């Protein structure tokens, strides 16, 4: 059974900047709402979502829920649509690199991961990355527009070392 993953703009953008967007396709079927596609294209300097990313329309009730979250200043539009889509499609994972969106998504019962989580999942499960490449991609993520704390970077390096001993 294929894992259903809904992604907001952040991981698409950060993994693209890091040269690691292909890692998403290995984790499952990637779905995004239309607003995420628009945000990605606006921020990715002419890049478009890969062919294997499926843009899914929100049902009316889901769109209304997402709009309510945005109006209440709980989360931004792209994240709201992604969380709504994840709930609508009964996604296995939501991918976001936004701390506020992560907390909100977890509060509504979603399993949430981010760009570093996708890298580590691929290290642990796909056997396509050797240690040097995994560390290079982590460095690329750290050099992308994704802000990563030194603590998280150290933990990710330690996880790569442990997984690829």
Helices (H), the chain: 9-17, 22-27, 34-43, 60-71, 77-88, 99-107, 115-125, 131-143, 150-163
Cβ burial, residue 67 (10 Å; 0-12/13-18/19+): middle
Task: Report residue 146's pLDDT band, with 50, 70 and 90 as the boundaries.
Answer: very high
Q: What is the CATH number of the domain that holds 130?
A: 3.40.50.1010
Instruction: Supply 121's token pair.
Output: 């999942």
In this structure, what is the dihedral angle of CA atoms 34, 145, 113, 107, given to the nearest 10 degrees? -70
| pLDDT value for 89 | 97
pTM, full prediction: 0.93
23 pLDDT more than 90: yes
Neighbour-count burial of 124, counting CB atoms closer than 10 A to its CB (0-12 exposed, 13-18 middle, 19+ buried): middle
Average pLDDT over residues 88-115: 96
Provide the residue range defining the domain that includes 6.
1-165
**In the prediction, which pLDDT does 128 show?**
83
Contact 136, 155 (CB under 8 A): no
32-72 pLDDT, tens digit each: 999 999 898 888 777 778 889 999 999 999 999 999 999 99
The residue-averaged pLDDT of 69-81 equals: 94
Judge contact between 39 and 49, C-beta under 8 A: no
Task: Give per-residue burial for 132-141: e unless 16+ CB within 10 Å, then b.
Answer: eebbebbebb
Number of folded domains that form the chain: 1
pLDDT tens across 134-145, in order?
A: 999 999 999 999
The pLDDT, as a whole number, for residue 24 is 93
Average pLDDT over residues 115-124: 94
The per-residue pLDDT for 118 is: 96
């Amino acid at each position: 059974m294929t894992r259903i993953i809904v992604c907001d703009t952040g991981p698409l953008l950060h993994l693209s900047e890091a040269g690691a967007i292909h890692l998403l396709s290995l984790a499952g079927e990637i779905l995004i709402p239309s607003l995420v596609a628009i945000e990605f294209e606006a921020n990715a300097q002419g890049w478009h979502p890969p062919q294997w990313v499926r843009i899914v329309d929100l049902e009316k009730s889901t769109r209304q829920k997402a709009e309510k979250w945005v109006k209440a200043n709980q989360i931004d539009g792209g994240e709201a649509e992604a969380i709504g889509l994840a709930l609508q499609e009964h996604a296995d994972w939501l991918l976001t690199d936004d701390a506020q969106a992560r907390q909100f998504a977890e509060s509504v019962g979603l399993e949430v991961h981010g760009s570093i989580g996708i890298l580590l999942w691929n290290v642990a499960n796909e056997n396509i990355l050797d240690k040097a490449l995994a560390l290079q991609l982590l460095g690329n993520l750290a050099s992308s527009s994704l802000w990563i704390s030194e603590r998280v970077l150290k933990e990710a390096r330690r996880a790569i070392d442990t997984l690829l001993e």
